[in-house]
A = this chain, B = another copy of it.
Amino acid sequence: MCAVDYAFQRIGGKHKGRVIYQLRNGIKRYGELRRLVTGITAKMLTQVLRELEDDELITRTVYLEVPPRVEYELTDTGRELLPFIRLLADWGKQQMEKEIIAE
């Protein structure tokens, strides 16, 4: 398989990029992510987080408290993706601005 393909499988999908992006500055809780990643449903957030965890791009830490607390954080491998996500975000931002000017 091709490396580009492989990478897209691991960070592709509708929300994965944004979840990783929101974890760029460190630990976030489930509820925080749900608010930050606008438009995502609980089901999808859970699914994305599980996939990222299986891929060892994030860690999941459960605190046995009441109310329960679960924290997510990028692994080293996950952090390696940040420059790439940032580049993409910058490009996207520029393009969006161009479109606004064009209209």
Which residues in A have some Cβ–Cβ distance to B below 8 Å? 1-8, 10-12, 14, 17-18, 21, 38, 77, 80-81, 83-85, 87-93, 95-96
Q: Which residues of chain B are within 8 angstroms of A88 by Cβ–Cβ distance?
A: 3-4, 7-8, 11, 84
What residue of chain B has the Cβ atom nearest to residue A8's Cβ?
Answer: B17
What residue of chain B has the Cβ atom nearest to residue A85's Cβ?
Answer: B4
Copies in the complex: 2
State the majority secondary structure of interface residues on A: helix
Q: Which residues of chain B are within 8 angstroms of A89 by Cβ–Cβ distance?
A: 3-4, 7
Whole-angstrom CA separation of A7 from B77 in the bound complex: 22
A2-B18, A18-B2 known; A7 and B83 CB under 8 Å?
A: no
